[in-house]
Amino acid sequence: MTKIFDPITLGDYQLHNRVIMAPMTRGRAEANAIPGKLMVEYYAARADAGLIITEATAISPKGQGWVNAPGIWNDDQAKGWLAVTDAVHAKGGRIFLQLWHMGRVSHPDFLDGAIPVAPSAIAATGEAHTPLGKKPYVTPRALSVDEIKDIVADYANAAKRAIAAGFDGIEVHGANGYLIDQFIRDESNQRDDTYGGSIDNRLRFLTEVTSAVAEAVGAGKVGVRLSPKSQYNDMNDSDPVATFTRAAELLNPLKLAYLHILEALPGHMMAAAGERVTPHIRKIYQGMLITNGGYTKDLATNALETNEADAVAFGVPYIANPDLVLRFKQDAKLNIPDFATLYTPGAKGYTDYAMMA
């Protein structure tokens, strides 16, 4: 039976275990979205993960929209990330960079007054956390086809820069209500051109981005993250099973390193009502599948033994337990995260959690 400490091959890499560090925004980048020493320390401490997937990282100035989130659109940012990847590799780890465009859930305060872009001019309900405080989301501007092509190119260029900065690969962020997810789901995408309407049309942006990134850096260095039922950022789809199984089917020919599904387990506070989508994706997707969403060590072990997934990503446990793999191996007690410091500046609640001796 497969265990979480068994090695696994994802794309171009053999990993020493199946414990994946999920991407988590932490808001510790320095001025101009440059990763600094705190981020080096944070990621290096978690190098015992089979794979680290970084926090979401903006592909361009137009794609940013989170206070103190990092970027990967210029040389200074790449230099900051190189210090991170060097530190992780020095400890024997592997690390992928998650690529991000926030779309409609950015705010003009991040964009020099410009209106955020989206598939359709439909505002999300809620508030953006801007550098000037909380403000309601604005109605975005619908992208033209030419602009969509430019953003696809931005993803490919960001992927190339990431590999040059020492990353082992990249993850395309198609989840959680950001730009790619906004195209996928029919509540936020009401276009009437080749990027809207049918499921295949709504998935076109996802497949174009992923294909461009795979061509730029190699498919064995590329993963994709999707969240079929997440309602975060005011997201919904009328038929998530049909939409996301078709996404898996369209991604199959690309032979990616993995597909990463965020779908909270039943009983978890983030679980959505209705039929669970991950088992349907598992039947369709022919490559390696990572699951995420409220797993404990025991639940992850069961998921692997029952072939629900090939590896399991852990988010919240990695916040407070940089040595999570060791704690799992020894069945040790886990530290409890301080949720008040998830996004606050500085080391507190970021790099000050105790590790086992």
Which residues are the active-site residues? 178
The count of other CB atoms within 10 Å of the CB of residue 311 is 26
According to DSSP H, which parts of the chain are helical? 37-44, 75-90, 145-164, 179-184, 199-202, 204-217, 240-251, 278-284, 297-305, 316-320, 324-329
The token duo for 146 is: 């030419």
Tokens 């852990």 identify what position? 314
Give the E-state strand segments of 43-199 in sequence order: 51-58, 95-100, 117-118, 127-130, 133-136, 141-142, 169-174
Contact 51, 17 (CB under 8 A): no
Closest CA to 31 of 131, 101, 102: 131
Dihedral through CA 14, CA 20, CA 164, CA 179, nearest 10?
Answer: 130
Q: Side-chain half-sphere of 92: how many Cα atoms within 13 Å? A: 7
